[in-house]
Amino acid sequence: QNMIIKNMFKKSYQIKNENIVKFFKFYFFTGDIRHLFGIYLRRGHAAAFATDCDLPGAHEMVQSIGMQTTYMGFLDYRKQEVKDLGINPSDCTFNPGVFVANMKEWKKLKITKQLEKWMELNFRQNIYSSSMAGGVATPPMLIVFHAKFTRLDPLWHVRHLGWSPDPFYSTSFLQRAQLLHWNGPFKPWNYPAVHLDMWEKWFIPDPSGKFTLIPLPDT
């Protein structure tokens, strides 16, 4: 459990204030990351996340591939420990793949200890949903931060890219996005993929020459 917590902050960045920005792999920023460091978190909140229900244009696609967007998809509501939480199973979840954390508040609220508690309980009693997708770190985050987080502008976590080789976001919408997340199997460095033009625009050549852009096939 401790290793999972440590890995959550393995790729995180901090400047002079108390905020850090955490994100996992397969992202790139089109906006200025300094904006995230300057986000004001509401009083008593240790983190800011984008919810799974406020991303424009993604609802139909998310439903079509069976992705989970409510607590029912992550917690086993047959277990008494889950029932005792009093969380409505239809409540919308948030995505912890990108978040801003205020470390002063995080330490004050003992967030790490709370997360470890739910990880250990799941190890003993298996309280996570059997249909869960998204890794074992997601459910404890959903429990600890339920109704206790500041909402992040959805444009700072435009996800679901790569779940289909066909585009479902409009070009105009993607141009307004601040952070793009290829969390589907169709990665932009392979073919077929989608929005390769955006990936190529922001691609930084690998100094070692090991990774290169794949030329598009002739049409």
Q: Who wins on pLDDT, 173 or 216?
A: 173
Average the pLDDT over 160-184 and give the result: 84
Q: What is the CA radius of gyration of the chain?
A: 18
The domain locations on the chain are: 2-156
Most confident of the ranges 100-114, 131-145, 187-201: 100-114
CA dist 205 and 199 (Å) reads 12
pLDDT of res. 79: 94
The model's confidence at residue 61, banded by pLDDT at 50, 70 and 90, is low
State yes or no: pLDDT of 42 exceeds 70. Answer: yes
- What pTM, to 2 d.p., does this model score? 0.81
Say yes or no to pLDDT of 25 above 50.
yes
Q: Measure Cα distances from 134 to 16, 22, 139, 209 in Å.
A: 32, 16, 9, 32
- pLDDT at position 217: 60
- In angstroms, rounded to a whole number, what is the distance separating the alpha carbons of residues 37 and 156? 12
The predicted structure's pLDDT at residue 148: 97
